[in-house]
Amino acid sequence: EVQLVESGGGLVQPGGSLRLSCEASGFSFSSTWMHWVRQVPGKGLVWVALIKSDGTTIYADSVRGRFTISRDNAKNTLHLQMNSLRAEDTAVYHCARDWFHAIDYWGQGTLVTVSS
């Protein structure tokens, strides 16, 4: 069974940093592209970043230069390092699995709140 479990969310001040993690199980993590997608509660889905199996990374314009997606294949874990956080980064962050250019499995998400 595919499982994705995020952690690391919380309250952080504007300009601060946070590191999200996503533990994956039930599939071959190292050979799978992985995404981060965020959602303001009650609002729509917004794609954040992708990391391919070869380590290539792609970012949304809104986070490029501030966020870094990475993976630890030995620990089946996906990360999102978020720096220079802004109020508009407040959202639930989901990690999600890419499957032939669709996103087939999503974690429950972890809430990030950027506020003073």
Residues interacting with another protein, by CB under 8 A?
35, 44-47, 50, 58, 60-61, 94, 99-109
Residue closer to another protein, measured from CB, 58 or 115: 58
Q: Residue 10's beta-bridge partner residues?
A: 112
Taking the complex as a whole, how short is the minimal distance between the CB of residue 111 and another protein, in angstroms? 13
Q: Is the dihedral of CA 77, 104, 64, 108 positive or negative?
A: negative
Residue closer to another protein, measured from CB, 72 or 104: 104
Taking the complex as a whole, how short is the minimal distance between the CB of residue 47 and another protein, in angstroms? 4
- The rounded distance, in Å, linking the Cα atoms of 98 and 25 is 14
- The rounded distance, in Å, linking the Cα atoms of 86 and 88 is 5
